[in-house]
Amino acid sequence: MVVEAEKGEFPESMIKRTKGVTISQVAEAAGVARSSVSRAFTRPDMLSPETVERIMKAAEALGYVPNHTARALSTGRHGNVGLIVPDIANPFFPPMIQAAQLEADRSDFCIFLGNTEENPKQEDKLVGRFAGQVEGLVLASSRLSDERIRAHAGKLPLVLINRDLDGIPRVLIDSGSGVREAVEHLVKLGHRKIAYVSGPSTSWSNKQRRSAMRAAASGLGVAVETVPAVLPSYNSGRNAVGAILATGATAAVAFDDLTAQGVLAGLAEKRVSVPSDFSLIGCDDVLGAVTYPALTSVSNRSMEAGRVAVSLLLDMLQSRAIRDVRYVLETHLVVRNTTAAAN
Amino acid sequence: MVVEAEKGEFPESMIKRTKGVTISQVAEAAGVARSSVSRAFTRPDMLSPETVERIMKAAEALGYVPNHTARALSTGRHGNVGLIVPDIANPFFPPMIQAAQLEADRSDFCIFLGNTEENPKQEDKLVGRFAGQVEGLVLASSRLSDERIRAHAGKLPLVLINRDLDGIPRVLIDSGSGVREAVEHLVKLGHRKIAYVSGPSTSWSNKQRRSAMRAAASGLGVAVETVPAVLPSYNSGRNAVGAILATGATAAVAFDDLTAQGVLAGLAEKRVSVPSDFSLIGCDDVLGAVTYPALTSVSNRSMEAGRVAVSLLLDMLQSRAIRDVRYVLETHLVVRNTTAAAN
DNA sequence: ACTTGACATGCAACCGGTTGCATGAAACTC
DNA sequence: GAGTTTCATGCAACCGGTTGCATGTCAAGT
């Protein structure tokens, strides 16, 4: 229920905000030209120390604060970068966002956050809306086509996370290494047929994980069956359980922890107990030990990815050059309690 | 490990972005004044339909896109709002952020996200940095003092979430109602002494929950002991377990689910089994059924809060007036498996 | 036919900074 | 002491839009 206490409109005067003190007022107060005030703030070394001090005192007294928008208009630099993620509610992203923000902050940049709801259309729209307000953009786990990404990269500095496009700076979390370890771990436990519960087909991570599965499995002489789950979510995982069991696999690796968690629930419903009857491994290790049994998973490096991506972007902005950087972060298997010997 | 493939600098020409087509170029192409181009985009009804069409065609041909910054400078409206949260990694917030974003999007507003790391200094700094780039701000679970909040509210339109300050529009998730139900539920199960594991002392929600606990308990004639946990996190909860048990309570209500999850882990370590030996209830219901045993919790309305807060803010921006709105969202107890009869 | 309006469009000032160039004074050279 | 360099500061144009007011045109009113 909702209680709304409406006490009526306030008089106009009450909402009058102190509308900005301008550079001109400071200039007049300090008895200098506007340009000197501007310089006092941006390149104080060009002015005599006494002048700078006088200006600063006047500015202080008037409560002057430089107008960001005006500055952006004349310099073309707004000190903002955008970060677009497919699903902020997916626990993979918040740490990344946090790290990105921290890194941006160190250089006095602000972050525009975009959430695409896993929808390429929405992503396109957001990029368009952000362009022109940000100096550069980080696209995390983009669901856009290569062409769209390249098109955008032509318009503003872009850094990708978990998307591997030549010529565009990118930070890749190589879950391949971790997935390989996962497969080896399962094989060592005696599993001969393993299911891979896949994620979004447009996801680079998904392609990567699936092919790492296949490669590792064929190297070890065991079989892999892919079961589609479309969206990385609890429900997708839960709905996939029927198909997983139908493959006859005794173990599964899921595209991510959320999916794995769903699978776990689905298995419990079907009275398949984990890990004694079935082994399960997640990816991204976002759930830590909170599932029951605690989920064996492939570690993620999402914080580091966020930090590095922003750092790369800021470098680009500073140097005004694109370096074809391909920054790879390796991952590892974290063994907990959802894997055991096959029976 | 990190692999960095540096392929060298690209030639300057390659990174030349198509620098904006301006209104002047469109004007020339269409054979009209700049002002007409401007009006074609902002108030087409002022122009003859043919002129509008001609301008639009020229704009299209040149790939003109209005410059957001310039527009913001002359109109004073930048179409951005800020949202500041204490901890984006706390699962309470992502759904709220998501909903806020969705609502902003409906009115073509962009969201600036700020993360304060639960640190009032950082929050102050962020507000300062955002002011001037956003038209208004939503402060969620602010850790600032009343004075600082009022000071900021004097400078730009502000909406609060989970903070109750007279005269400033606010959206409150009334966990009181849910906490009351929680206490009633525990008492009905025979518990006579209940611990409250508190959250941040500057948190409005914490004050509210604690006093709801006290009121409900004294109404029912049972005892409440408060155990401090300082930060709402897994570790805080885990570390609080000793103190909780020392109170002699047979049940506890934790400030939030994260804290509760930590308590759950701490209890397990001490071989206290839940719910047979001890009953536990969380708040915010962010973990759903993923803990083991599935956590009984007080529902949250964070999505709705995010949506409503932004909607309120946009209203303020449109009407240029402050209404003293106090929007209250009630909550309820969701019973799962961490509560049982006292023994 | 002459006034009156309504309407479409242009002109120019403005938003609040930044920056290349000009100027004038002080400091240096020989 | 005249000529040159250096340095601090001011002037004015510019960034790319928006908007109040003036102007000109054309149709309606009488």
Q: What is the pLDDT of residues B44-100, one digit of tens each?
A: 999 999 999 999 999 999 999 999 999 999 998 889 999 999 999 888 999 999 999
* DSSP for B184-247, written as a single string: HHHHHTT--EEEEE---TT-HHHHHHHHHHHHHHHHHT-EEEEE---S-SHHHHHHHHHHHHHT
Q: Does B113 touch chain A (CB under 8 A)?
A: yes
Residue whose tokens read 């759930």? A287
* Per-residue pLDDT tens over the stretch A13-24: 344 455 689 999
The top-level CATH class assigned to B80-173+302-329 is alpha beta
Contact (Cβ atoms closer than 8 angstroms) between residue B237 and residue B258: yes
Residues 116 to 135 of B: which have CB under 8 A from any A CB? 129-130, 132-133
Least confident piece of the model among A11-25, A97-111, B307-321: A11-25
Q: Which chain B residue has the Cα nearest residue A104?
A: B114
Q: Which helix H or strand E contains B283, and what residues bound it? A: strand B279-283
User: In the predicted model, is pLDDT for residue B8 greater than 90?
Assistant: no
What would the two tokens of residue B333 be? 């107890």
User: In the predicted model, is pLDDT for residue B14 greater than 60?
Assistant: no
Q: Does A72 touch chain B (CB under 8 A)?
A: yes
CA contacts within 13 A on the Cβ side of B302: 23
Positive or negative, the CA dihedral A111, A90, B291, A304 is: negative
- Cα of B307 to nearest chain A Cα, Å: 14
- Cα of B326 to nearest chain A Cα, Å: 5
| Amino acid in the structure at residue A175 | S
Evaluate if the CB of B42 falls below 7 Å from strand D. Answer: yes
* Per-residue pLDDT tens over the stretch A168-225: 999 999 999 999 999 999 999 999 999 999 999 888 899 999 999 999 999 999 999 9
Top-ranked range on mean pLDDT: pick from A218-222, A284-288, B322-326: A218-222
Positive or negative, the CA dihedral A207, A208, A214, A217 is: negative
**Average of per-residue pLDDT across B285-307:** 88
Helix (H, G, I), strand (E, B) or coil at B70: helix
Of B138, B131, B22, the residue nearest B78 (C-alpha): B131
- Cα of A223 to nearest chain B Cα, Å: 29
Q: Is A18 exposed, middle or buried (0-12, 13-18, 19+ CB in 10 A)?
A: exposed
Q: Which chain B residue has the Cα nearest residue A171?
A: B4
Q: Does B291 touch chain A (CB under 8 A)?
A: yes
- Residues of chain B with Cβ-Cβ distance to A129 below 8 Å are 108, 110
- What is the CATH number assigned to the segment(s) A20-66? 1.10.260.40
Q: Nearest residue (Cα to C1') for D13?
A: A74
Strand partners, B298: B283, B333
User: In the predicted model, is pLDDT for residue A10 greater than 50?
Assistant: no
- Who's near B283: CB < 8 A, 6+ residues apart? B175, B178, B179, B205, B209, B253, B254, B255, B256, B257, B260, B297, B298, B300
Whether the upstream peptide bond of residue A293 has omega within 30° of 0, thus cis, is: yes
User: In the predicted model, is pLDDT for residue B147 greater than 90?
Assistant: yes
Helix (H, G, I), strand (E, B) or coil at A57: helix
What would the two tokens of residue B311 be? 């909607």
Return mean pLDDT, chain B: 90
Of A235, A151, A68, the residue nearest B129 (C-alpha): A68
A80-173+302-330 and A175-300: identical CATH topology: yes
Binary contact (B70, A65; C-beta < 8 A): no
How would you list the strands of the sheet with B279-283, edge to edge? B223-227, B193-197, B251-254, B279-283, B296-298, B333-334
- Residues counted in chain B: 343
Least confident piece of the model among A11-15, A150-154, A292-296, B278-282: A11-15
CA distances from residue B150 to A18, B156, B327 in whole angstroms, order as listed: 14, 10, 19
Evaluate if the CB of A148 falls below 7 Å from strand C. Answer: no
pLDDT at A137: 95
Q: Does A323 touch chain B (CB under 8 A)?
A: yes
Q: Which helix H or strand E contains B111, and what residues bound it? A: strand B110-115
Contact (Cβ atoms closer than 8 angstroms) between residue A92 and residue A140: no
Q: Does A8 touch chain B (CB under 8 A)?
A: yes
Report the C-alpha gap between A212 and A221 in whole angstroms: 14
* DSSP for A280-341, written as a single string: EEEES--STT-SSSPPEEE---HHHHHHHHHHHHHHHHHHT--B--EEEEE--EE--SS---
* Per-residue pLDDT tens over the stretch A238-257: 999 999 999 999 999 999 99
Q: Which chain B residue has the Cα nearest residue A93?
A: B89
pLDDT at B319: 83
What would the two tokens of residue B298 be? 């007080």
Q: Does A45 touch chain B (CB under 8 A)?
A: no
Of A212, A189, A190, A340, the residue nearest A283 (C-alpha): A212
Report the C-alpha gap between A175 and A211 in whole angstroms: 11
**69-98 on B, CB < 7 Å from strand C:** 70, 73-74
* Per-residue pLDDT tens over the stretch A332-341: 999 999 999 9
pLDDT at B162: 94
pLDDT at B6: 43
- Find how far residue A206's CA is from the centre of its chain: 16
pLDDT band, very low/low/confident/very high, at B18 (cuts 50, 70, 90): low
* Per-residue pLDDT tens over the stretch B156-169: 999 999 999 999 99
* Per-residue pLDDT tens over the stretch A250-276: 999 999 998 998 899 899 889 999 999
With pLDDT > 90 as the criterion, what percentage of chain A qualifies? Answer: 76
Q: Does A114 touch chain B (CB under 8 A)?
A: yes
- Cα of B110 to nearest chain A Cα, Å: 8
CATH superfamily of B174-300: Response regulator (3.40.50.2300)
CA distances from residue A217 to A187, A222, A224, A249, B146 in whole angstroms, order as listed: 8, 5, 7, 13, 60
pLDDT at A269: 86
Long-range contacts, stretch A16-21, CB < 8 angstroms, 24+ apart: A17/B154, A17/B155, A17/B156, A18/A63, A18/B154, A18/B155, A20/A65, A20/A67, A21/A59, A21/A62, A21/A63, A21/A64, A21/A65
- What is the CATH number assigned to the segment(s) A80-173+302-330? 3.40.50.2300
CA distance from start to end of chain B:
54
pLDDT band, very low/low/confident/very high, at B128 (cuts 50, 70, 90): confident
- Residues of chain B with Cβ-Cβ distance to A65 below 8 Å are 132
- Residues of chain B with Cβ-Cβ distance to A115 below 8 Å are 97-98, 101
- Residues of chain B with Cβ-Cβ distance to A301 below 8 Å are none
User: In the predicted model, is pLDDT for residue B7 greater than 50?
Assistant: no
- The full set of domain ranges for chain A reads 20-66, 80-173+302-330, 175-300
The top-level CATH class assigned to A175-300 is alpha beta
Q: Which chain B residue has the Cα nearest residue A317?
A: B15
Residue whose tokens read 């339109």? B157
With pLDDT > 90 as the criterion, what percentage of chain B qualifies? Answer: 76
Strand partners, A252: A195, A280
Evaluate if the CB of B47 falls below 7 Å from strand C. Answer: yes
Q: Nearest residue (Cα to C1') for D18?
A: B74
Helix (H, G, I), strand (E, B) or coil at A81: strand
| Amino acid in the structure at residue A174 | D
> Which residue from A94, A129, A322 is facing B110, i.e. has the nearest CB?
A129
* DSSP for B30-52, written as a single string: HTS-HHHHHHHHH-GGGS-HHHH
